[in-house]
C-alpha cells in the first residue's frame, strides 16, 4: 500500500506538469575518482559517472562525465576545469556534483578544503550552472567501506553530506543523498557481509588472477568501486531522483526540471540471484537495473561447497565460471541461479513478472530503449563457428557511401558492400555485444583487383584500428585481414569502415569477431556450429565454416594432404585464435601433397586451411587435430 501511495503521488505530479517526450538535454557530471571514467585497462574499476548513461533514455539524455580522480571541490576549480566546462553547459541541462573524498585530505594542501570553506567552493558550481540556465544537482559523497560514515555528522568526520543538504535547501535545488543510501545499503541491507561481499564484490578488493587486468589482485576495499558497485550507485541515484520530486524545499522551477529528468529514466527490472543450496559463501545480491545494462554474476563458495554452473531463468546453463561478467541484463525481471553439487534441481521462472521495478515509469515512448532511426536492418542468416562465432554480413549498412551488390561470386551472405572510389567513403554498422572482451580479434573478408593496397581504418566502439588490405587478385577472389587486441564492452556501438586511398575501399563481404554474441542491433545472435560442417545456402543460412571450399573432397583432413593438378601452391594454416602457423609457397606435383614438411606437426586444436594454386583459391576448409 505504501508503494502504491508513493506511485500515486508521483503520477499525480506528472499529470500536473507537462513534460515533452522529445526534450533532450545533457547531464554534466563533476566529481572525483569514485565518479570518473576509467580506461579499459582498469576494468572492472569504474566510477558511477561512467555507468550513469545506462539509466537514462539515450534518445533524450547525453551524459558528459568530466569527473577526474584526485580532485576536490577546490582543485577542480583551480585546475580550470569548471571554467572549461562552462561554455558546454546549455539551458535545460543538469550539472551533477559530488565532492568530499579529497577535500578532507589535510596532508595534501592542493586538495584540502577546511569544512568552513567547503560551501564556498560548492556555491561556485551551483551559480555556474544556474548562470547557464542549467539545474545543479548536489550528490552527497558516496560512502567508504566500514561502519563509520566519515562524510556525515560525528567527531572527526567531514560532514560534506550535511553541508550539501543545507546548500540544496538554501538554493532550493535537487539533492541526491547517495551518501546515506550507500551507507545504509552496505551496513544494513548487506549486514554482516562487509568483508565477504561488499569489499570483494563491490569495492576494488580483488583476489589475484580474478580479472586479467589485475594478475596480482588489488587491495582497495575502502574507496574505489568495481563496475557492479558503481552500477548499484546508479540505481541509488535513480531512486533518489524519483524520491526527490517530493522534496518540499524545491523551487517550482527545480521541481519542474527534476520532473523532466525523472521522466527520462529508463525502466529498471529486478535481477534475482539465488543458489540451489543454503550457501555459506558469498554470492551476487539482487539488483535493479535497466535492460541492456552490464551485469556480473559471482559466487565464492564456502569450504566443502562445489559450484557447478550458472543457470538463467529457464534453467539453461550460461557459464561454469564462478565469475561471469560482460553480459547484459534482459528487458524484463529475471532470475539467475548458482547451481551447486548436491543441491536442489533448478526451477524455471517462466511466470516471471515483467513489470519494471522503477517506482516511476511514465507511459511514453521515451522510456523504451531507443530504436535506430535508420532503415530497417536486413538480418542475415550467417552462421558462426567456434573460432569465429559472430559473423556480421556487410550487406546493407546502416549508413554508407556505396552500394550493396551481388555481381561477383563467393560472397557469403546477402551480398557485399561496394564502397565508392573515394578517399572519404565510409560504411557504418550499428552493432551490439552481449559479452565483453579485452583482446578480441576481428576478421575482415574482402576482395578487389588491382596493384595497389586499399588500406582502411575500422572504428569499433570509438577506438580506431588500421587495416592493411593488399589486392586479392580479382573481384571474385576473397581474402581476409585481421585486427588484433580489440576491446569490446557489453554495449551498443558503431562499427565504421573508412577508406584511406583515392581508390576508395574494397568490396567488403563479412566481418567476424572471436567474441561471442556480437550482432547487428535489431538482429538475433548468430547460430554457432559446433563442428566444421556447413553448407552454402542463401535460403537457410551460410556457415562460414565452409563458405567457399572448392573441390572439397580434394582435402584429406585425416592425413593432412590435398589432391590437385599441381602448380604453384600457397598454403596457409591458421589456428583457432586466427594466428598463422603455416605460411609456405612451393611448387607441387599433380596428385597428393602433404601440407606439412620436415616432420612438422600441429598441436591438438581446430585450424583453418587456405590453399591457392597458381594464384586462385583452391581450398578453404576447417579441420581439427587430435592427439592420443
Domains of the chain: 30-265 (3.40.50.1110), 269-367 (no CATH), 384-532 (2.60.120.260), 552-625 (2.60.40.3080)
In this structure, are strands 605-613 and 567-575 parallel, antiparallel, or unpaired?
Answer: antiparallel
CA distances from 198 to 190, 275, 284, 599 (A): 8, 18, 10, 56
pLDDT tens column, 250-284: 999 999 999 999 999 999 999 999 999 999 999 99
Q: Is residue 68 predicted with pLDDT exceeding 70? A: yes
Say what percent of the chain tops pLDDT 70.
85
Kindly state the average pLDDT of the residues 289-318: 95
pLDDT attached to residue 535: 34
pLDDT attached to residue 112: 95
CA distances from 547 to 63, 240, 441, 581 (A): 43, 54, 20, 21
pLDDT tens column, 318-358: 999 999 988 899 989 999 999 999 999 999 875 444 555 55
Q: How far is CA 559 from the centre of its chain?
A: 43
Q: Is residue 582 predicted with pLDDT exceeding 80? A: yes
Q: Which three cell numbers stand for residue 379?
A: 538480418
Kindly state the average pLDDT of the residues 548-553: 36
Q: Which of 1-5, 194-198, 436-440, 556-560 shows the highest mean pLDDT? A: 194-198
Rounded to whole angstroms, the Cα distance separating 501 from 457 reads 11
pTM for the predicted model, two decimal places: 0.57
Asked if residue 282 lies in contact with residue 299, where contact means CB atoms within 8 angstroms, the answer is yes
| Candidate from 200-214, 237-251, 430-444 with smallest mean pLDDT | 430-444
pLDDT tens column, 139-178: 999 999 888 899 998 888 999 999 999 999 999 999 999 9
Asked if residue 328 lies in contact with residue 231, where contact means CB atoms within 8 angstroms, the answer is no
Q: Is residue 120 predicted with pLDDT exceeding 90? A: yes
Tell me which residue of 113, 90, 98, 126 sits closest to 36, measured CA to CA: 98
pLDDT attached to residue 358: 52
Q: pLDDT category, 376, cuts 50, 70, 90? A: low
Tell me which residue of 576, 580, 582, 574 sits closest to 605, measured CA to CA: 576
**Residue 83, SS3 per DSSP:** helix
pLDDT attached to residue 10: 45
| Candidate from 21-30, 306-315, 430-439, 563-572 with smallest mean pLDDT | 430-439
* Torsion, CA 372, CA 256, CA 25, CA 166, rounded to 10: -130
Of residues 286 and 477, the one with the higher pLDDT is: 286
pLDDT attached to residue 491: 62
Amino acid at each position: 500500500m505504501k508503494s502504491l501511495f508513493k506511485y500515486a503521488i508521483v503520477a499525480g505530479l506528472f499529470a500536473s506538469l507537462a513534460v515533452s517526450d522529445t526534450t533532450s538535454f545533457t547531464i554534466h557530471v563533476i566529481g572525483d575518482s569514485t565518479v570518473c571514467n576509467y580506461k579499459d585497462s582498469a576494468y572492472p574499476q569504474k566510477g558511477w559517472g561512467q555507468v550513469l548513461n545506462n539509466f537514462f533514455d539515450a534518445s533524450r539524455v547525453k551524459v558528459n562525465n568530466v569527473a577526474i580522480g584526485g580532485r576536490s571541490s577546490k582543485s577542480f576549480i583551480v585546475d580550470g576545469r569548471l571554467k572549461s566546462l562552462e561554455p558546454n553547459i546549455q539551458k535545460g541541462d543538469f550539472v551533477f556534483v559530488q565532492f568530499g573524498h579529497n577535500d578532507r585530505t589535510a596532508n595534501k594542501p592542493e586538495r584540502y578544503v577546511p569544512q568552513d570553506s567547503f560551501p564556498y567552493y560548492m556555491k561556485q558550481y551551483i551559480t555556474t550552472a544556474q548562470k547557464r540556465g542549467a539545474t545543479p544537482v548536489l550528490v552527497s559523497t558516496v560512502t567508504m567501506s566500514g561502519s563509520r560514515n566519515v562524510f556525515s555528522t560525528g567527531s572527526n568526520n567531514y560532514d560534506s553530506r550535511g553541508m550539501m543538504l543545507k546548500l540544496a535547501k538554501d538554493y532550493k535545488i535537487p539533492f541526491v543523498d547517495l551518501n546515506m543510501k550507500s551507507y545504509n545499503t552496505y551496513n544494513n541491507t548487506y549486514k554482516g557481509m562487509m568483508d565477504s561481499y561488499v569489499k570483494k564484490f563491490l569495492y576494488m578488493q580483488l583476489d589475484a588472477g580474478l580479472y586479467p587486468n589485475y594478475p596480482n589482485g588489488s587491495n582497495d576495499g575502502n574507496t574505489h568501486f568495481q563496475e557492479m558497485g558503481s552500477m548499484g550507485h546508479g540505481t541509488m541515484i535513480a531512486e533518489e531522483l524519483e524520491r526527490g520530486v517530493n522534496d518540499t524545499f524545491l523551487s517550482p522551477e527545480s521541481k519542474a526540471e527534476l520532473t523532466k529528468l525523472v521522466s527520462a529514466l529508463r525502466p529498471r527490472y529486478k535481477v534475482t540471484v539465488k543458489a540451489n543450496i543454503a550457501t555459506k559463501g558469498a554470492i551476487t545480491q539482487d539488483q535493479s537495473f535497466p535492460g541492456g545494462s552490464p551485469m556480473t554474476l559471482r559466487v565464492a563458495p564456502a569450504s566443502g561447497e562445489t559450484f557447478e554452473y550458472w543457470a538463467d531463468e529457464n534453467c539453461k546453463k550460461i557459464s561454469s565460471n564462478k565469475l561471469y561478467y560482460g553480459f547484459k541484463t534482459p528487458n524484463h525481471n529475471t532470475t539467475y541461479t548458482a547451481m551447486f553439487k548436491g543441491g536442489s534441481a533448478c526451477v524455471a521462472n517462466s511466470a516471471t513478472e515483467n513489470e519494471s521495478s522503477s517506482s516511476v515509469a511514465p507511459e511514453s515512448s521515451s522510456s523504451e530503449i531507443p530504436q535506430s532511426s535508420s532503415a530497417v536492418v536486413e538480418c542475415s542468416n550467417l552462421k558462426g563457428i567456434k573460432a569465429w562465432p559472430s559473423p556480421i554480413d556487410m550487406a546493407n549498412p546502416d549508413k554508407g557511401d556505396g552500394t550493396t551488390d551481388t555481381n561477383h561470386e563467393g560472397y557469403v551472405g546477402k551480398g557485399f558492400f561496394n564502397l565508392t572510389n573515394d578517399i572519404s567513403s565510409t560504411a557504418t554498422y550499428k552493432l551490439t555485444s552481449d559479452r565483453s572482451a579485452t583482446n578480441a580479434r576481428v576478421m575482415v573478408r574482402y576482395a578487389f583487383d588491382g596493384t595497389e593496397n586499399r588500406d582502411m581504418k575500422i572504428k569499433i566502439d570509438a577506438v580506431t584500428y588500421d587495416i592493411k588490405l593488399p589486392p586479392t587478385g580479382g573481384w571474385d577472389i576473397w581474402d581476409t585481414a585481421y585486427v588484433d587486441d580489440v576491446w569490446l564492452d557489453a554495449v551498443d556501438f558503431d562499427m565504421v569502415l573508412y577508406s584511406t586511398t583515392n581508390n576508395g575501399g574494397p568490396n567488403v563481404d563479412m566481418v567476424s569477431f572471436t567474441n561471442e554474441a556480437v550482432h547487428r542491433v535489431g538482429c538475433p545472435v548468430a547460430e554457432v556450429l559446433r563442428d566444421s560442417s556447413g553448407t552454402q545456402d542463401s535460403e537457410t543460412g551460410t556457415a562460414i565454416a565452409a563458405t567457399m571450399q572448392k573441390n572439397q573432397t580434394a582435402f584429406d583432413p585425416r592425413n593432412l594432404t590435398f589432391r590437385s593438378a599441381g602448380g604453384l601452391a600457397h598454403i596457409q594454416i591458421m589456428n583457432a585464435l586466427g594466428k598463422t602457423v603455416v605460411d609456405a609457397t612451393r611448387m607441387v606435383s599433380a596428385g597428393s601433397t602433404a601440407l606439412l614438411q620436415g616432420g612438422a606437426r600441429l598441436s591438438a586444436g581446430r585450424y583453418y586451411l587456405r590453399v591457392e594454386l597458381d594464384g586462385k583459391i583452391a581450398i578453404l576448409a576447417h579441420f581439427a587435430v587430435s592427439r592420443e
